[in-house]
Structure 1
């Protein structure tokens, strides 16, 4: 892509605050001397006052200083001090029922906390705290406590209120979930934007960019197919993929080894196995995958299986392109797909 064409694309992304361009470019503003990330909330400069860079180091070397509003040298969804304070407070007393006085005691504005948690976790602070309480209740039930004991230990005086809250968060009444699966969901910051990871203590079930269209439906389908409760939390497979993603984006890892749970039909799994066999830095077409499976006319079915992948990057559906060389589609956005393909050409083989 020519530089002028690229700059026009980046400027359009800057005006629209498009999250899929996070980590792809930074913009230096000549009139202020600062550089920003694509989603900076500050007033947008004129095109002729913009200078675009591939990374923050280039902007710094060009004498730009980091913007104080979007903080381009930190993660795009850097946790605010308020969010950190409240998360720590919940962890100290997960059974606590939060009231207005509790926020005042911490010198925290309740409405600001609601907005920041909604942006960060997709739920308000009260919903987050309630989900954490329910997670504790679920742990107690699974360890042998009765539903009544779990209700009382998590601060619910009314059994009906406990069951209603439990059902809203986990999708089923507590008695129906005894002995069933619990999956935990965590937020992972990456260079290309935040991702959601869902897993249990054995495997990773889902890894997707948070801004992927239809992510909520994916999570709901996963919950229904596994008959699981999905609650905020961390598991060892999630810790593992978080470590591996850091190495991957640093250019130090080309193959993921975190344990996976691939939920799909035999045909879908066969397609995903073919995807995982594509070496980093290389691409295949949908027709190539169909031929490799011995079903040369099944390229449309291959494309559908490709789109059904719920483990982004780990099952590298971004390495599949159209037969004519076009990028094709990608749930995380074509800008990210192109960036990933270029990035993987620089990875050290393992």
Structure 2
């Protein structure tokens, strides 16, 4: 490695097969920083933004967090896991991070509105900002933005496609009585 690059952060990137299709995972030495569906429309841009924000070099290959991610996803899709406890390396503004962390407080198998999420973070008038922060969530499934719906109860945008959001919600509701 060139001496100039020795201090450069490395982000590992790999493919992960899931019950809802191929996904791409990205991890730093701190944790998972991206987990997106491979067919996500803005995937390339998102990968570029993460590597720039982290001042990192992307390296295709394995990372110790990927094994944990695969194992926890396997348990999730079997209906055996309701929460993920894998380390995350959130890349975003302080407000976005606050919104994303609040997603983990939404119980498995339930939904809330963007308005309710805004209230939960102490910003009841920031509904649109909360929705925009959720739209920038780079860690699908693990940070469950699929559990946030419109005030009218309708499903709204999901980077992985509304059909996946619907499948995730149906799946969680079916398995909500486990442990």
Q: 1:253 aligns with which of 61, 65, 81?
A: 81
The unaligned stretches of length 5 or more in structure 1 are 1-140, 142-146, 148-174
- Larger relative CO (CA 8 A, sep 6+): 1 or 2? 2
Higher helix fraction (1 or 2): 1
Q: 1:295 aligns with which of 123, 128, 131?
A: 123
Give the Å deviation of 1:178: 2.0
Question: How many residues end up aligned between the 2 structures?
Answer: 178
Conserved in 1, the CA contact under 8 Å of 2:79 and 2:178? no
Conserved in 2, the CA contact under 8 Å of 1:252 and 1:348? no
Q: 2:156 aligns with which of 325, 328, 331?
A: 328
1:227 pairs with 2:55: yes
Deviating beyond 6 angstroms after TM superposition, the runs of 4 or more aligned structure 1 residues are: none
Structure 2 residue matching 1:338: 3-state secondary structure: helix
Give the Å deviation of 1:294: 2.1
Q: Distance in 2 between matches of 1:247 and 1:348?
A: 15
Give the Å deviation of 1:347: 4.1
1:181-220 matched pairs, under 5 angstroms: 181-220=9-48
Q: Distance in 1 between matches of 2:105 and 2:62?
A: 29
Kindly tell me: are residues 200 and 295 of structure 1, through their superposed partners in 2, closer, same or farther at Cα, counting changes over 3 Å? Answer: closer
- TM-score, length of structure 1 as denominator length: 0.49
Conserved in 2, the CA contact under 8 Å of 1:290 and 1:302? yes
Give the Å deviation of 1:315: 0.5
Give the Å deviation of 1:201: 3.4
Q: Who is 1:262 aligned against?
A: 90
Structure 2 residue matching 1:187: 3-state secondary structure: strand
Give the Å deviation of 1:176: 3.8
Structure 1 residue matching 2:137: 3-state secondary structure: coil
Structure 2 residue matching 1:189: 3-state secondary structure: strand
Higher strand fraction (1 or 2): 2
Q: Who is 1:274 aligned against?
A: 102
Larger radius of gyration: 1
Task: Map Cα deviations across residues 183-226 of structure 1 (whole Å, 9 max, x no partner).
Answer: 11010101110010011333111100100110000000001000
Task: Map Cα deviations across residues 74-131 of structure 1 (whole Å, 9 max, x no partner).
Answer: xxxxxxxxxxxxxxxxxxxxxxxxxxxxxxxxxxxxxxxxxxxxxxxxxxxxxxxxxx
Kindly tell me: are residues 348 and 179 of structure 1, through their superposed partners in 2, closer, same or farther at Cα, counting changes over 3 Å? Answer: farther
Q: Distance in 2 between matches of 1:194 and 1:278?
A: 25
Q: Distance in 2 between matches of 1:200 and 1:226?
A: 9
Give the Å deviation of 1:290: 1.1
1:169-184 matched pairs, under 5 angstroms: 175-184=3-12
Q: Distance in 2 between matches of 1:294 and 1:226?
A: 29
Q: Distance in 2 between matches of 1:348 and 1:244?
A: 18
Conserved in 2, the CA contact under 8 Å of 1:199 and 1:235? yes
Structure 1 residue matching 2:133: 3-state secondary structure: helix
Give the Å deviation of 1:267: 1.2
1:308 pairs with 2:136: yes
Structural RMSD (CA):
1.3
Conserved in 1, the CA contact under 8 Å of 2:12 and 2:59? yes
Q: Distance in 1 between matches of 2:178 and 2:148?
A: 19
Q: Distance in 2 between matches of 1:342 and 1:268?
A: 27
